[in-house]
Amino acid sequence: MTDGHGNEAATSTLEHHQRTESAQRLARPLIKLAKASGLATSFIDQLGTYTEISDDALVAVLKALDVDASSDEAIARSMADLEEAESKRLLNPTVVAVTGTSTSIQLNCPADEDVTVAVTLEDGFSFDDCTVLPDLNSGHPVLTLGTDLPMGYHTLDVTADGRAGHATIIAAPARIPVPEAVAEQQRWGWMTQMYSVRSHDSWGVGDYGDLKRLLIDAAHESGADFMLINPIHAGAPITPLEPSPYLPESRRFLNVTYIRPQDIPEYGTLPDDVRARVDELHASVAARNDESTPMDINAAWEAKRPALRLIFEAGRNAKRELEFERFKALAGPDLDSFATWCVCFEVWGAPWGENRWFFDKRIDDPEVTALVETHHDLFEFNRWLQWIAAEQVTEAQHAATESGMALGLMQDMAVGVHGLGADAWANPERFATGSVTVGCPPDFYNQQGQDWGQPPFNPRYLEATGYQVYREMVHAMYEHAGAVRIDHVLGLFRLWWIPQGLGAKNGAYVMYNHEAMLGVLSIEATRAGGMVIGEDLGTVPDYVRRILADHGVLGTDVEWFARVDDSPNAGDPYKKPSEYRRQALASVTTHDLPPTAGYLGFEHVKLREELHLLSEPVEQFAASALAERTAMMDRLVESGYITAAAAEDVPGHIQQIVEAMHAMLTDTPSLLLQAALVDGVGETRSQNQPGTSTEYSNWRVPLADEHGHVVHTDEVFALPRVRSLAAVMQHKRR
């Protein structure tokens, strides 16, 4: 199969009955090299169609992994190099152990060699329950770690006749325990785009102060046990800002544009003239809190940042200074790297377009060091911003749990980071940068595939370093959250790498050590008494869902996608609520669909036609949308949630149908249920339209009701419509 340019397509569709690669294909040297390097050379798409990856995509992705497959001779050399490196390795650099069970590690040396073993636990103590015995079948010695190995990250050192091997042991529980409060009864919560909900104290964009108020009110006024918000990873230090929270500059640190200056302790002790200047800056953008048009995130930050600088320059008392110093010490060198990138960004300009410093200057470059020394106040300011952001998010989580929420804040982990962001610049070795980006192949809802423009983690780097960068990121998220939702959880197993110039359809899956990454999640969630939710929608193999469930990771069930036998076909019947998974976060909708009122009114059809996103005639897509809605109405009628008359007049019964769809959620066995604030207030506009960037006001739509009136933070849970939906979620009304 070829595309319009005569090139072989990555997702070459074979006959429907074929499910595996032929013996002839498997015998090809390129296919063998790709598999040995951790690439999947075929896959089953969302429609159940067997597809094979093109040679062009395989060669390009291998190149991104520093494996040369440019010719037959190069393929032979690369395979020989892989085999030689494997033969010299005494043991894998990362070992995953399950607490409570013994762990066997085969060592790559003759069974009769003298082997010494040392295990150093995370706390610095030694672990001595280790034995080394020969394996008669393999001819290699096997190291066995005892069952009492504690949970944590430990180090293993092995020597065998002068050869040395070093490994990180990720010792994790077999399964993340369900928190007692969730195990005893089904819990529910809200989903919202935090930035969209503003109060009179906001600066034109929702902030951490709004989040704190939303959490408290959601607990007290609606009985909710958690609130899922958009990712709050770090963005650019100055404008123009990237609107998408799913394209951060760093996942290790927080978005400081959401800080509320008035909630910083030092704001209350500012000299009168300085405080007046801060208040004037707030007043310059405060009126925007009442506007229902797309938010101007740049204007908000251009007012707030100088206000924050005034508070920073006013200084801190001795106690607060010690707290700041402690934060910097605990954050470690990555905080310094991030602050350094911020200084370069502000002084030298945004690192894209014709500005080449991102490519020409490394973090250890003398010019970079001199720049930080010259602008040390700016360097310190950016570290201070991270401290303040961490304080305010932590305060929000404490307020949530003190208000009675079982989980509190549910943070959202983005798939990756911006290719020109702080993480990719300071530590390029962590990523496959420059020639590939991450996305996903075509599916029913994104027929052209998606390219998210992010460099993927290099699986070889992760393995060699014991997944330390992933450990630190996950730990930081659980410092102020009761649960973490992982966007595109399939990325723990494999990621769709898209070579430059080949398009989103023409990529290849690169495999990751999911046991190691799930081990990290298990450790951090268990230590925090929290939960992990995996967004497992779209092209996700059944084995992935089984493994996630075995580890205690909840899946994601969405009513609009929950068809019988998981059919991807619009118009096919929907599942009964009793057929949903117990181990899941169940919801009516997602942030990538219009609010339910809008979806029922076919806003997605209108928007996709307007933005030229359809790969089929609009009449065909509209027909499938109607079939989908009709099938949902059939399910609601059959299960007794609405009458046939309501189903025949959807526009006249929107709120009733929205509440009926949520009532159906409450009859599922799912551990967690979720309602969207946009569904509560009656909003119809999409927050995000996949496949667009500047074509639509993604991630900038403020919360408004069905009449287009802004709903402020302190008004949300007083609205009769929100209270009515909350009552449905609490089983108080049907």
Tens of pLDDT, residue by residue over 311-363, are 999 999 999 999 999 999 999 999 999 999 999 999 999 998 888 999 999 99
The structure tokens listed for 405 are: 């929420």
> Average of pLDDT values for 445-463?
88
Residues 54, 55, 56, 61: is their CA dihedral positive or negative? positive
C-alpha to C-alpha distance for 36 and 496, rounded to whole angstroms: 17
Q: Three-class SS of residue 107?
A: coil
> Average of pLDDT values for 569-579?
96
Q: What is the 3-state secondary structure (H, E, C) of 598-620?
A: HHHCCHHHHHHHHCCCCCCCHHH
H or E element, residue 584: strand 584-587
Q: What is residue 4's predicted lDDT score, i.e. its pLDDT?
A: 32
Query: 384: closest CA among 292, 215, 261?
Result: 261
Cβ neighbors of 362 (< 8 A, separation 6 or more) are 368
C-alpha to C-alpha distance for 468 and 429, rounded to whole angstroms: 13
**Type of residue found at 217:** D
**Any bridge partners for residue 157, and if so which?**
118, 166
**pLDDT-based confidence at 6, cuts 50/70/90?**
very low
Q: Three-class SS of residue 94?
A: strand
Q: Lowest-pLDDT range, 126-140, 186-200, 270-284?
A: 126-140
> Average of pLDDT values for 472-500?
97
Instruction: Quote the DSSP letter at residue 491.
Output: G
Q: What is residue 288's predicted lDDT score, i.e. its pLDDT?
A: 98
> What letters, b where the CB count within 10 A reaches 16 and e where it falls short, cover 458-470?
bbbbbbbbbbebb
C-alpha to C-alpha distance for 720 and 221, rounded to whole angstroms: 12
> Average of pLDDT values for 182-207?
98
Confidence check: pLDDT of 653 > 60: yes
Instruction: Quote the DSSP letter at residue 457.
Output: B
**pLDDT-based confidence at 691, cuts 50/70/90?**
confident
Cβ neighbors of 409 (< 8 A, separation 6 or more) are 211, 215, 226, 227, 229, 393, 396, 397, 400, 480, 481, 482, 483
Q: What is residue 623's predicted lDDT score, i.e. its pLDDT?
A: 97
- Asked if 436 and 458 count as a contact pair (C-beta separation under 8 A), the reply is no
Q: What is residue 13's predicted lDDT score, i.e. its pLDDT?
A: 52
Angle at which helices 318-331 and 333-348 cross, to 10°? 100
Q: Lowest-pLDDT range, 85-99, 246-260, 516-530, 681-695?
A: 681-695
- Maximum distance among all Cα pairs of the chain, rounded to whole angstroms: 81
What tens digit of pLDDT does each residue of 197-231 get? 999 999 999 999 999 999 999 999 999 999 999 99
Query: 61: closest CA among 78, 39, 43?
Result: 39
> Average of pLDDT values for 298-312?
98
C-alpha to C-alpha distance for 438 and 447, rounded to whole angstroms: 17
Using CA atoms in the order 458, 460, 464, 469, what is the torsion angle rounded to 10 degrees?
Answer: 20
**pLDDT-based confidence at 734, cuts 50/70/90?**
low
What tens digit of pLDDT does each residue of 531-568 get? 999 999 877 888 999 999 999 999 999 999 999 998 88
Q: What is residue 445's predicted lDDT score, i.e. its pLDDT?
A: 60
* Residue with the larger pLDDT of the pair 12 and 86: 86
H helix intervals, 28-127: 29-36, 55-64, 72-88
Q: Three-class SS of residue 43?
A: strand
The structure tokens listed for 330 are: 């605990």
- Asked if 676 and 682 count as a contact pair (C-beta separation under 8 A), the reply is no
Q: What is residue 538's predicted lDDT score, i.e. its pLDDT?
A: 78
**pLDDT-based confidence at 17, cuts 50/70/90?**
low
**Type of residue found at 395:** E
C-alpha to C-alpha distance for 704 and 707, rounded to whole angstroms: 8
- Sheet of 50-52: strand order equals 12-13, 50-52, 42-44
Angle at which helices 618-638 and 654-666 cross, to 10°? 60
C-alpha to C-alpha distance for 217 and 209, rounded to whole angstroms: 12
Cα 321 versus chain centre, distance: 33
- Asked if 295 and 252 count as a contact pair (C-beta separation under 8 A), the reply is no
Cα 565 versus chain centre, distance: 27
